[in-house]
Amino acid sequence: MPHIAVMMYPGRDDEKKMALAKKLQDALEEALGVDRKVISVSVEDVAKEDWDENFKKKIDKKTIFIEAEV
């Protein structure tokens, strides 16, 4: 059961988050060849001032395959 977790700054409504989740689900279904029924996607808003603390606590650097270039 693949799961995609997205952390991002606040400011997007639930409609945009759902659109993103569906596109990620489509991409994972195609890339892994799994049924979309087993794919879950979460979207978490993290305030800019809390980003470093939350990101470092929740994400193991060894699991990041593409890093932001900022």
Residue 54 pLDDT > 90: no
Can you give the residue range of the structural domain that contains 25? 3-63
In a domain? residue 35: yes
What is the structure's pLDDT at 62? 93
What is the structure's pLDDT at 57? 86
In a domain? residue 70: no
Long-range contacts of 31-37 (CB under 8 A, 24+ apart): 32/2, 34/2
How many Cβ atoms are within 10 Å of 20's Cβ, its own excluded? 16
Number of domains forming the structure of the chain: 1
- The CATH number covering residue 42 comes to 3.30.429.10
pLDDT digits 0-9 by tens, 3-41 = 999 999 999 999 999 999 999 999 999 999 999 999 999
In a domain? residue 45: yes
In a domain? residue 23: yes
